[in-house]
Structure 1
């Protein structure tokens, strides 16, 4: 060690930072390894990377339960997750989205709001409370696994928070994969034109990657339209989390022990700032693409870490009623968008 390095490490703040880095490194490293393995398998076996990262994480869940990797796994599942969601903002450009026209934008936003409202309304009939309803309906309505993790980050935590999040991520990813295959077939059966098919695919399929895959399997025009519609749903992440945070804050302040969540989480503020900067062309395209790729990797690492923190038996114990709820929410948004397309086009 050089004299300059030794002098630097003698500073208390640097010592604390160095010790924290040493503590977190093993867990972050294994999370990165699991995520990279999932990405490799995804590219070679045409399977969603998010789902593979989750399943591989669950397979090595002992790494999140004991040993030197525990702190880093927890950090990846929480802090890297929030950073990844924040960087999602660079995918949003209001100027580009405005090109779709007001009716289709209103239909897409209406689908998001209606699906969340529907989920909150019917959850009680499936034996679930508002937390699980908001988590599942929000992930179905907005952007799948990414939305599930963002909403899960603001929900008051209890003993079943992790298993509900794991179940939701797994459920929306599987359903999104099924939709990626089935919905283009349905679009052809209904004789949709390229714009109608793009609106249907972008307005109903949960995850961005599956939307892109389904859209471009029909045509380039359908793929472009589907991607734009999907980005409208992604842009709804910030307002939904903001409104949910305000309502949860009011609920917790009245009904709990007075321990309030933040008014607006920092990662949501960062999402809004990045979306605004990108909308006005402040962020260069090359940088925006780099940050978007970083977001995908951070979310993949985070979901691998969430898997390592989970217990598969507990996740599966969520039950058939939970499966029915997330399926009916998926069918609801599909029916809503189909109805809108028939009325507007």
Structure 2
């Protein structure tokens, strides 16, 4: 054995030292955002974004940059994969055929509407996909998942952050306003659950809006929302295949084929199947769901650190108009489906 081999350390700590400062920074921001959310209410994702933006001056710090990059691009995939434990295929039967068709149609039509409107407004297709996916599926989690299928460049990060901020703001507003709509139109428990779960973007806001009305509406809204979360799988699968060549081109890996199905998406499906057969104890499901949430909050904090308000302001009013229009579109669509179900069941 050579002297060099004898002197070689068992563990190379240099790579850990490069990652650790930025990783700790993002974790601290995520912890602060969660604390503020728990103490004073409001979406922790939005807090993580805003606090992260205030630390933008560290994005070029050589001690932090590696850890921030890993949190922003890698950790999000772990969080999305772990989302699978929250979904059980057997729950779909409780929604009924019309509920399933209405919710699945809402996802497809909202993304299509967003893509069409982004073209009319002359916005990039990436923003149309991100805004449509976030509004149609499950808010910031969906925005992060869709972002992982797009070419990984500076524009993608900028649009992802803008989508996350906008969808968090509109989702919070919907949590407060939509229960008033339920009362105004005198919706039943099942109708209110379908409307709230099918139109509000983020899971936390759906739960909040539902339980403001009653525990029964809260349960119904959560079930409808989890079906929309389950729609994340086929949508991401489609985008992975459709954008594969363009992603390779932007990533500078033309000629080197990327896997048809990313590993994080495979794990997402595996967790759904395992949960369907009840192999994961309820306590473990809760813990894994919390871990998934932490991964996503840390990732969104890292994305906040990487982006400045100046860049967001430079995008103008059109992205906000896009997100607002998507929010109105899916709300009107779900109200239409609710009244259609009332006519059919009459």
Bin of the TM-score, shorter chain as denominator length? over 0.9
What residue number does 1:299 align with?
296
Determine helix, strand or coil for the equivalent of 1:68. coil
> Is contact 1:252-1:260 (8 Å) kept?
no
Change (3 A) 1:27 1:159: closer
List per-residue Cα deviations over 1:8-36 (Å, max 9, x = no partner).
x9776x523x3322221111111111111
Runs of 4+ aligned residues of structure 1 deviating over 4 Å after TM superposition are 9-12, 250-261
Q: State the Cα distance separating 1:86 from its structure 2 match.
A: 0.7
Residue-pair matches, total: 335
What residue number does 2:11 align with?
15
> Is contact 1:252-1:258 (8 Å) kept?
no
TM-score of the aligned structures, taking structure 1 as reference length: 0.93
TM-score of the aligned structures, taking structure 2 as reference length: 0.92
> Is contact 1:154-1:265 (8 Å) kept?
no
> Is contact 1:167-1:318 (8 Å) kept?
no
Does 1:268 pair with 2:265? yes
> Is contact 1:95-1:280 (8 Å) kept?
no
**Structure 1 vs Structure 2 CA RMSD:** 1.9
> Is contact 2:175-2:209 (8 Å) kept?
yes
Q: State the Cα distance separating 1:189 from its structure 2 match.
A: 0.5
Q: State the Cα distance separating 1:306 from its structure 2 match.
A: 0.8
Where do residues 1-345 of structure 1 align in structure 2 (5 Å cutoff)?
Answer: 14-16=10-12, 18-249=13-244, 261-345=258-342
- Greater Cα shift, 40-49 or 154-163: 154-163
Change (3 A) 1:251 1:63: closer
List per-residue Cα deviations over 1:146-195 (Å, max 9, x = no partner).
11011111101333121111100000000000000000011111111111
Q: State the Cα distance separating 1:266 from its structure 2 match.
A: 1.5
Determine helix, strand or coil for the equivalent of 2:58. helix
Determine helix, strand or coil for the equivalent of 1:157. coil
Determine helix, strand or coil for the equivalent of 2:138. coil
Determine helix, strand or coil for the equivalent of 1:101. helix
Determine helix, strand or coil for the equivalent of 1:15. coil
Gapped regions of structure 1 (runs ≥ 5): 1-8
Change (3 A) 1:163 1:259: farther
What residue number does 1:4 align with?
none
